[in-house]
Chains A and B, each alone.
Chain A
């Protein structure tokens, strides 16, 4: 059993990684326009750089 103890920090670390990723996505306003994001991915106009804010 004791040689499996390293799994605990690994599990916690992965969990924290997920949490950090979520917090980051929240702080970069990625949840502001869910409908728009769903539609924008269908757009395959890779033309000149768009003006975005």
Chain B
């Protein structure tokens, strides 16, 4: 198989790389696998369309039937299929093909940097703490109820002793998440909610033990343990929300260029991981692949889609000596290039560095709960101190009694409702967003979203779909041309050809010979002895037309005018945001005319065209400098730094990996109204959180004077604390009551579509 020479001869792109592609794919699959024991690999696939027992059964049966597969297990909750197979008897590609044959879209799942294991371990620990706290609080409450209902003297004392025996180990175990967090905060000289919580629990326990041993008085064992139980529920819900969003985002993960084809002296190619490509290496990039590192073309020519990298919506033609950035997509021809930088110094790495730098600004944000804690904690401790001093004076130096009452104040003010106020509201909001097709990756993001007063949109792929559609026909399109045109358009992966194929809709295709794609010009073929061409008007021979032109033989021609289509709901979203008093801007890397047209169509007043990633950050910083809180909505690699620099960010599901990982919210729905919906939900959540704080405050206003007056008994403490928690939870659940924008699209199928995009990309490899 000859691979060198004139790549523009195009035809070879259709059959040459099949083997190489398979090798590269097998390599990628193996690299994503883990090795549970020597000679065995465990590979995990994401199968988003797996819905029911029939799907599970067919996948487990078909894959399990392969001779080299040892075990296969489908996980329906996470839509994962994990397969253990023997490496000496077969390939990962065979399993991949088996999934293909079943018709399930799939991508290989990469466990990532090991952080997901840490998150899982944390969830497990929280659940164990929750179980221990639940067990302890149930049993202690049982004993407490008997004390309240009249057990006295020896019996009460015995019950208290048993309670202490349960409570001390339970608190020591289940309280760890709070104690460690409080210690971390204190050692950084900060205060968070966990400080008063830990203090109240420990003091309540200590005082109760003292009272029990001293013989009389009240014991707060039940309060200390139930408190932990309630708060752990809040913590665990918060954790679950994160897991859910994370799993959904993982489901969108696609296989990026992880390997490169290195060209040896003899023209042979070898598959090498991208990280091992050095500057000066000669690489081959096949159509449908992304360029792995920065470089210069030495041979061949092709159309290059740079939209994810620079924001340019139109593919550009690259020939010898043309420069390529890492991450751009090669559309039509085979190109050979020389790497000018290794992976660590490529465009992509540069973007990552800019993102790391921008990240520092955002960490300055303090979560609402922690802001509250900074006022609340000192206030509570001050109140307890005042109580202690006051009662010492009133009681004529009876400091033991004064201390008991001061501790009762601390217990009653322990921010149980406050600890639940934020996480419960966030969990409910996240579920509502989830139902709306918006994934929230971080709980604090919704607080930041509620504060925004400026939105910066990217154009290509965000405000627009990033794929051209046929908008207008120039001339007549006779019905007999359609099969020819369909066959011709389907042979190219150029977006214009795809747009025309979409426009024609699936149907009969004509038999073509000698199909040849000329990068930068178009495709040509022979049909019944006549030459048919689809491409640039000048090349086709119809220079009077302007769009992509088709010419049948030497006869008539027809032109297709293409336009990048606006994302549905763009105008409505911009309108809704403006009505809410938010400043809307458009900052794009694309050319002036295209940006101006999109800005006019979406009714965005201010726009900046031709912006580099650095200029995008500058614009956001300028807005922030004016005291604005900025939301960035973007999808491309070039938006990555801007997404990180903004106060809060969103990306469509079809965004680049970098864009999606940098964004706080991922829009799974195909239209843009998700931006307005999320903003509205964020505002409502903010209101509910404030109401929750108000409820907690009212409770404190009633309970604290009672406690300071020394009138609180353990029974009152238990009832009051539970009541305020239940109120706060009930109030948060109100967020589920629908309101706002009516539902317009069925985005549930769009989740599958969003995943199908990467699957299609891989099929092209």
Query: Which A residues lie at the B interface, using CB under 8 A?
Result: 1, 8, 11-12, 15-16, 18-19, 22-23, 26, 31-36, 39-40, 42-43, 45, 50-53
Contact = CB atoms under 8 A, between A and B. Distances in A.
Nearest to B74: A36
Contact of B77 (A16, A36, A45): A36
Q: Which 4 A-B pairs have the closest CB atoms?
A: A36-B76, A53-B71, A39-B53, A35-B76
A50 B138 CA distance: 41
Nearest to B127: A26
B75 interface: yes
A51 B64 contact: yes
Contacts of A43: 53, 56-57
Contacts of A31: 127
B52 to A, nearest CB: 6
Contacts of B82: 53
Interface in B490-547: none
Given A33-B76, A45-B57, A51-B64, 8 more contacts: A11-B139, A18-B135, A32-B75, A33-B77, A36-B77, A40-B53, A51-B69, A53-B84
A19 B57 contact: no
Contacts of A42: 53
B731 to A, nearest CB: 28
Secondary structure at chain B's binding surface: helix, strand, loop or mixed?
A: helix
Contacts of A16: 135
Contacts of A1: 155
Nearest to A18: B135
Nearest to A12: B139
Contacts of A26: 124, 127-128, 131
A48 B734 CA distance: 50
A19 B132 contact: yes
Contacts of B211: none
Interface residues of B, number: 31
B73 A15 contact: no
A43 B52 CA distance: 10
B77 A23 contact: no
Given A36-B76, A52-B73, A15 B127 contact: no
B70 interface: yes
B72 interface: yes
Interface of B: 52-53, 56-57, 60, 64, 69-78, 82, 84, 124, 127-128, 131-132, 135, 138-139, 142-143, 155, 162, 166
Contact of A51 (B52, B70, B135): B70
Nearest to B124: A26
A23 to B, nearest CB: 7
Contacts of B60: 50-51
5 contacts: A11-B142, A39-B53, A40-B56, A45-B57, A53-B84
A47 to B, nearest CB: 10
A15 B135 contact: yes
Contact of A34 (B64, B77, B142): B77
A11 B166 CA distance: 12
A36 B135 contact: no
B256 to A, nearest CB: 27
A39 B56 contact: yes
A4 to B, nearest CB: 11
Nearest to A43: B53
A19 B98 CA distance: 43
A52 to B, nearest CB: 6
Contacts of B77: 32-36
A36 B78 CA distance: 9
Contacts of A18: 135
Contact of B75 (A12, A36, A45): A36
Nearest to B71: A53
A50 B139 contact: no
B371 to A, nearest CB: 35
Given A18-B135, A42-B53, A53 B128 contact: no
Given A43-B57, A51-B71, A33 B78 contact: yes
B681 to A, nearest CB: 25
Nearest to B53: A39
A53 B83 CA distance: 9
Contacts of B52: 39
Contacts of B155: 1
A51 B142 CA distance: 47
Nearest to A41: B53
A36 B70 CA distance: 20
A23 B134 CA distance: 13
Contacts of A39: 52-53, 56, 76
A21 to B, nearest CB: 10
A51 B513 CA distance: 48
Contacts of A36: 56, 74-77
Given A36-B77, A51-B64, A23 B128 contact: yes
B71 A15 contact: no
Nearest to B131: A22
A6 B456 CA distance: 70
Nearest to B78: A33
Contacts of B166: 12
A43 B56 CA distance: 10
Given A8-B162, A50-B60, A50-B64, A15 B76 contact: no
A34 B244 CA distance: 13
A18 B166 CA distance: 15
Contacts of B128: 23, 26
A31 B124 CA distance: 10
A13 to B, nearest CB: 11
Contact of B139 (A15, A22, A23): A15
A14 to B, nearest CB: 10
Nearest to A51: B64
B72 A53 contact: yes
Nearest to A38: B76
A39 B56 CA distance: 9
Given A1-B155, A36-B56, A51 B72 contact: yes
Contact of B73 (A22, A23, A35, A53): A53
- Which of the listed residues A8, A23, A43, A51 has the most CB atoms from chain B within 10 Å of its own CB? A51
Contacts of B139: 11-12, 15
A8 B161 CA distance: 12
B74 A52 contact: no
Nearest to A8: B162
A34 B75 CA distance: 9
A29 to B, nearest CB: 10
